[in-house]
Amino acid sequence: MASHRIERTTEDIKRELTAIFRELKDPRVTQAFLSIVRVEVTNDLSYCTVQISAIEGLDRAKQAVKGLKSASGFIRRELGHRLKLRHVPELIFNATDSIEYSAHISRILNDLDVEQNEEENDESV
């Protein structure tokens, strides 16, 4: 029963963090196109690890994480107000390159598809 509560709280935190990120005024955060890849909350709701990725790459995500760490007090307060949690977990932000990696894989697959179409056109002639 408790695992359902943790999962629901995790999804709520992810949804609210997305909204809070849009309200931040730190240029390190607003100038990057950020995505929350994963949110993990400990069973006792004391810590919340948030994986952040940016389309611009890992360096931009690391800069955004610095901005998020400096605004973590504001973010935590906003989470507490919006989710009505008695104890708001401490936020730990980590940068990851998963969006950049998936875009790279997508480009490779598109290139393979173009080459395959060219081969099919050559064979039909």
Whichever domain contains 61, its CATH number is 3.30.300.20
Domain count for the chain = 1
Q: pTM for this structure?
A: 0.76
pLDDT tens track for 30-74 = 888 888 999 999 998 899 999 999 888 889 989 999 999 999 999
Q: Are 36 and 73 in contact (CB under 8 A)?
A: no
Range of the domain at 61: 2-97
Residue at token pair 């104890």: 87
In DSSP terms, 54 is beta-bridged to 34
DSSP secondary structure string for all residues of 14-62: HHHHHHHHHH---HHHHTS-EEEEEEEE-TTSSEEEEEEEETT-HHHHH
